[in-house]
Amino acid sequence: MSDTATTPTNATFDQFGLHGDILKAIAEQGYTTPTPIQAQAIPVVLGGRDVMGAAQTGTGKTASFSLPIIQRLLPLANTSASPARHPVRALILTPTRELADQVAANVQSYAKHTALRSTVVFGGVDMNPQSAELRRGVEILIATPGRLLDHVQQKTANLGQVQLLVLDEADRMLDMGFLPDLQRILNLLPSERQTLLFSATFSPEIKKLASTYLRNPQTIEVARSNSTATNVTQIVYEVAEGDKTGAVVQLIRERSLKQVIVFCNSKIGASRLARQLERDGVVATAIHGDRSQNERMQALDAFKRGEIEALVATDVAARGLDIAELPAVINFDLPFNAEDYVHRIGRTGRAGASGDALSLFSPNERKQLADIEKLIKRPLEVQRLTVDTPVRHHHDERGSRRERDDRGGSRRRTTGAHERPSHGSHHRQQPIDDFFLKPYEPSPSSAAKREEAPAAPQKPASKQPLAALLGGFGMPRKTTTSN
């Protein structure tokens, strides 16, 4: 049985009883007033209750569980060099590597004035540095499920003393793809623990499944479930499927967007779109599951520094990615999972700022649009977009390059060694005689001469021994004598 928390009025971080070292770190981050999800969740977590928290993206869910976790573990903090004095006491699981890295950065900033140790482990990078950190001992471990199980198998991570478990983006963590790994991890944890689930979306099925992992949880909802932020303007543009690439370029140019995330449904589609945007003069790169973790982190860092205008991504960037003052996101493809739409557009309009969520809609995506409107319980404004930017064919990049050259593009055709270059734009092509276009027809006189000509004498067959053909020419033949 769960109940719902009420929102405290005029709450401040000082009223939660947080330690002075934590308050100092909060002040250094520039935070003065807790967000609604923080104001409701922090007292409940400090009280030891299980929590199922739902709030819109960009409302500070990470601090709502990391601050009380640090406060609860402070009595156990110590400066001992012994790894045995620093067991894993809090485990935070995330579905993506980028989100794990971001949560770890927040935890480290909030706990930097304390003796608590924290680290993060995720796949795609070398395990050895992670193993070294775990062997030294950490109280707070942030991890993705697959890599965590790798460390458990290598016996570099022991979860036998975990007191607090957090499932960040819990709806994805409880998805069937993660469920087997998650169940294996839960079997390694003590049964007496506090469990916290946080996400922006909770379907009825996920809520029912989550109830099996929680004990008398308190539900915290600071907004209607699965709702989108009111400070994000949502517009759907109806365009033909073949005009979507041109529509992205046009929206970026018309709105003067210097920083935008463009979401695609497939890895191949994201890579292809990034290349097409580059050819149209938009500084772009792709981020998806087929790129190495170092490449993904480098792309994100360059995007945050403003060196990249368009970050073309799959849904690996839809959850937890925090880009300060991101003006807009563009859905090149409408997501197959309606919940992903809420997370995608939550990358803009964060921390109270305004943002634009622009989606491209083709006639074959009517079902996705209907599912999104059903989830957020509101119709989306659909506008017709006339695309002026020339469109390239997705399936033939070389053909698209030739088309731009024919239109007078910037690429110059290079001449080979056997080709004769043009000597000027005013060179006139000589007329071609129709005689050279006719098929060959032999004249009667030449045909008669061929019939009268004697047959060519045939050359006598070679009498060379077979050994000469096999490289044994000149070798003396071995004679045999009969017995």
Of residues 388 and 127, more confidence is placed in: 127
Range of the domain at 253: 232-400
DSSP string, 15-60: GGT--HHHHHHHHHTT--S--HHHHHHHHHHHTT--EEEE--TTS-
**Looking at the domain assignment, is residue 470 inside a domain?**
no
| pLDDT at res. 397 | 44
Same domain for 308 and 388:
yes
* Residue 161 and residue 44 share a domain: yes
Looking at the structure, tell me whether residues 47 and 160 fall in a common domain: yes
Task: Tell me the C-alpha distance between 202 and 183, whole Å.
Answer: 19
Residue 472 lies in a domain: no
Q: Given a cut of 80, is residue 482 above it in pLDDT?
A: no
Q: Are residues 183 and 241 in the same domain?
A: no
DSSP state of 405: H
Find the mean pLDDT for residues 152-170: 94
C-alpha torsion sign, points 78, 82, 85, 86: positive
Band (pLDDT 50/70/90 cuts) for residue 81 is very high
Q: Which of 221, 256, 289 is the last residue of a domain?
A: 221
Over residues 153-182, the mean pLDDT reads: 88
Cα 218 to Cα 196: distance, rounded to the nearest angstrom: 10
Round to whole Å and give the CA distance between 408 and 92: 56
Q: Are residues 209 and 323 in the same domain?
A: no
**β-pairing verdict for 382-384 and 232-238:** parallel
| 393: Cα separation from own chain's centroid | 24
Residue 225 pLDDT greater than 70, yes or no: no
Q: Which residue has the higher pLDDT, 204 or 401?
A: 204
Please check whether residues 51 and 82 belong to one and the same domain.
Answer: yes
Residue 446 domain-assigned?
no
Chosen domain end from 379, 400, 421: 400
15 falls within a domain: yes
User: How confident is the prediction for the chain on average, in pLDDT?
Assistant: 80
Q: Are residues 322 and 203 in the same domain?
A: no
**Same domain for 146 and 178:** yes
What is the count of structural domains for the chain?
2
pLDDT band at 113; cut points 50, 70, 90: very high
Report if residue 254 sits inside a domain: yes
pLDDT digits (tens, 9 = 90+) for 360-381: 999 899 999 999 999 888 898 8
- C-alpha 291 chain-centroid distance: 9
User: Has residue 274 been placed in a domain?
Assistant: yes
Task: Provide the token pair at 118.
Answer: 């924290």
Q: Tell me the percentage of the chain whose pLDDT exceeds 70.
A: 74
What is the pLDDT confidence band of residue 297, given thresholds at 50, 70 and 90?
Answer: confident
Note whether 192 and 239 are same-domain residues: no
Residues 291 and 373 in one domain: yes
Let me know if residue 423 belongs to a domain. no
pLDDT of residue 437: 55
Highest mean pLDDT among 46-60, 343-357, 455-469 belongs to 46-60
The pLDDT of residue 433: 52
Residue 79: CB partners within 8 Å, gap ≥ 6?
115
Burial of 205 (0-12, 13-18, 19+ CB in 10 A): exposed
Strand partners, 199: 54
Q: What is the pLDDT of residues 390-424, one digit of tens each?
A: 544 444 444 444 344 443 443 333 333 334 344 44
pLDDT score of 425 more than 50: no
90 and 117 inside one domain: yes
Q: Is residue 479 part of a domain?
A: no
Domain of 313, CATH number, reads 3.40.50.300
pLDDT tens, position by position, 21-79: 999 999 998 888 898 899 999 999 999 999 998 876 667 889 999 999 999 999 999 99
**Residues of the chain above pLDDT 90, percent:** 45
Q: Of 196, 221, 246, which residue sits at a domain end?
A: 221
Contacts with 4 (C-beta within 8 Å, 6 or more apart), sequence order:
218, 219, 220, 221
Helix (H) or strand (E) holding 219: strand 218-221
As given in the structure block, the two tokens for residue 58 are 């960009």
* Pairing mode of beta strands 90-93, 51-54: unpaired
Does residue 90 register a pLDDT over 90? Answer: yes
129 plus 260 within the same structural domain:
no
Q: Report how far Cα 406 is from the mean position of its chain's Cα atoms.
A: 36
Q: What is the pLDDT of residues 240-251, one digit of tens each?
A: 998 999 999 999
Task: Please give the angle made by the CA atoms of 330, 401 and 414, to the nearest 5 degrees.
Answer: 145
Lowest-confidence segment of 230-239, 348-357, 446-455 by average pLDDT: 446-455
CB within 8 A of 47, min separation 6: which ones?
Answer: none
pLDDT at position 417, please? 37
